Chain A
Amino acid sequence: MWRVLWTLVARAARGPRSPRSCTRQGSGAPAPGSGATIFALSSGQGRCGIAVIRTSGPSSGHALRSLTAPRDLPPARSACLRLLSHPRSGEPLDHALVLWFPGPQSFTGEDCAEFHVHGGPAVVSGVLQALETEAQRRQALRQLDGELGHLCHGWAKTLTKALAHVEAYIDFGEDDNLEEGVLEQADSQVRELELALSAHLRDARRGQRLRSGAHVVVAGPPNAGKSSLVNVLSRKPVSIVSPEPGTTRDVLETPVDLAGFPALLSDTAGLREGVGPVEQEGVRRARERLEQADLILAVLDASDLGSPSSCNFLDTVVAPPGAGSPSENSRRLLLVLNKSDLLPPGGPDPRPDLPPHLLLSCLTGEGLDGLLEALRKELAEVCGDPSTGPPLLTRARHQHHLQGCLDALRHYKQTKDLALAAEALRLARGHLGRITGGGGTEEVLDIIFRDFCVGK
């Protein structure tokens, strides 16, 4: 009932489910205390044994009942074991302890519910998604601020303008005089937006990384100390080696928690050309993994920087010729010079062209703190910092709609039929509208009448 009700409401609240319809109803967020039900993950981010999800608000009871159907509400303030399943699909989510705190005897004074679920990211996100209603999404999205908010609003503005100009070209292009090049300008704006969105989406795999772990690849020429580094990183007390069997999909891939961030640490075969077919296959895989890596830990033997294999590695992996190109922009790399204990007291051989690097001795542990700090910084960038960024769930939705927006934009201009092309823009704007709101008919008309002298 709860789910159905909310779905209906959300649909009604959106008005005609057209891509542009979001502002038609122009409603603001419900006033505080006006009966909205909120929910959130109350325990910390990341991997843990048990995660606690709390809801607060008048719909908490409905929510609890709909997730634990067909069972009734548990007795107040006592923990009960329940099978949680998705209210719509019926798909089982988790066996969880649930608690029911009817208001006003609750933390917030409103009706509250708690779900103590197993802490795997899949379970947590499954329950959160089941809880999430369209209306709440809208509200969460309305509160969108920060960097991503700025970005989305900027894109929405560009897209609305492009849409308005195409609409103007359709509605007034033949009767009134629009300036030359209106359509061409819209075209180039759409192209730019497409590039910006796809760059962001490439980058915005971060949310996913936070759930499933960032790919950290250790690479380097043979005998640089890659495996030692992996061992050090996975044995270091501050990092926790996952004891779960079977989670390692590859013998060389170890799930670890690096400075609070989940990561998949991969050891690769030493990169060198030639030799036997088996090793060649290993090298091919290593290169493939490098391409998929979120972060590369490039390891060199500090005492052996002049060797051909080190030089080759530096030229091809650490500073490849195309490194400045946009496609390489998102690649992150930390250069680690291992075996610092073998160096003479004056430091490594002076190589003026050597990029920024960290010195480390896997043997003595010297430089490890510096490396961990550097890793933390990099991973915060890669995964997004949960303490400052928007919540994980919203980000998944953002990604979904940004992807939808991008897909729609790609349909623009595939056809000469301008009505079809405009439809692609409307659809794209609709996706952005689910994040930022706006983009309705009146907004489009405002832009048309602001930018063009039309009307008779």
Chain B
Amino acid sequence: MVVNTIHWFRKGLRLHDNAALRDSIRGSDTLRCIYILDPWFAGSSNVGINRWRFLLQCLEDLDSSLRKINSRLFVIRGQPTDVFPRLFKEWHINRLSYEYDSEPFGKERDAAIQKLASEAGVELMVRISHTLYNLDKIIELNGGQPPLTYKRFQALINHMEPVELPTETITAEVIKKCVTPISDDHDDKYGVPSLEELGFETDGLTTAVWPGGETEALMRLERHLERKAWVANFERPRMNANSLLASPTGLSPYLRFGCLSCRLFYFKLTDLYRKVKKNSTPPLSLYGQLLWREFFYTTATNNPCFDKMDGNPVCVQIPWDRNPEALAKWAEGRTGFPWIDAIMTQLRQEGWIHHLARHGVACFLTRGDLWISWEEGMKVFEELLLDADWSVNAGSWMWLSCSSFFQQFFHCYCPVGFGRRTDPNGDYIRRYLPILRGYPAKYIYDPWNAPEDVQKAAKCIIGVHYPKPMVNHAEASRVNVERMKQIYQQLSCYRGLGLLATVPANPNNGSNANIVNAGSGQIPGSSVEHTSAQEGPSRTGSLSATCWIFNTSYEKHGWIPLDYIEVLSPCFLF
């Protein structure tokens, strides 16, 4: 029987470590690799020009790599549920492969396609390669619940089977006799569109700081590892002024689109570490970037409301303010705080900002200054940020706004001080906000404090050429810390005076409860994580109790009923 295969690229835009593609080639007579340009890109139409350009570059790169092995990429416009029945018929397809997508929207879309495939008698081949692990197994190991803290997640990881090795790259060897039927009008029918064809204005568009594609990704990986080896230091790098700028070894957008396999990155890091540190076991912190990504994917996979506050069992219901005007100022870099505005400008221009810069602007928008919902910030990042995928973006915003994951909220990133400590000279500000170039380092982070003659000399009067600061940070912090405290005190039912104890003790950090259960009161000799993992089932109980508090009481009442008789006792809403 003739086997005609479609491989469907969604993420996983690469030929290395592509298990679904690799397996579906075996025994196939024809192969067509497709990308469906769904007008609803990953469930949202909120995509800026940098992200489209990156994607198109990825597709061009794929097409070029496929050409080298006598194949081509087929770009098809439409919605998958419309496209597939047509293709199944037209190309006599009996096999369909794709990389597993763990996100709730992806799973729903794929369920519909699975149905169509089975109705059409098409064999499905789905493989996991966008994450290091099978996320369902991690959840299973945690008693059927996703881990709510990163520490818990790390403990579970230690008990998972080792990460699978990357699959061999698709080469002419691998493809062997499998043929791709290419028509003369392929470019017209199935070619990768340009930005203009998609309706974008490209006049004045500067070259991409982050060029898309697998080729670029692999080159960066090599450079990234070279730099690590040269430094021979695997510690978390200290933040300095240079870190703020786009790095030629940065990998996050490539991981998001799947131009770079996370497993390949994982193993290359491991090999390098073993080489440099003479075969010792790499600590989990080496894979920090990959594991955080994995953590958010795990927490999100079974929660379709993960990107919302309302109806989201892991999200604290916080009375954020609705203020479109203030939101626009933040999104467009017009807050009057140069540190915030420069970061948002870099984001809009280039599509990437350093993670501490993200913390700074996220804190400013939400719990720090503007008290606007993290959902709004998440949408802006979704539009502009190259590496913001659904799970990681939503999860990070919840984290940064102290809406979940049992965060302490006392540490606020100052929109003046934090920038000043990172880049005392202010070069970053001058680069992205040229209007402030004339300001000396002393005043560049708070130009509204500069005396008139300094402002005149800088040819930039605050309030005229550059906005005045939109909030008084000291007053805003004071108000907002108080708000967070009110909310968390209701959640934890804490009646004391401490600021730290206001945040409910997280149930699976391996705190006192853990030791009590261990019985001896001593910390076990082996790694801490071992004990935590054993807690499994009982943890689930306390986890769901906490989730109930978040979800039920807030949804039903908007507050947890306080016993007002206790009002006379210390700290009524202190």
Partners in one complex: no
Interface residues of A (CB under 8 A from B): none
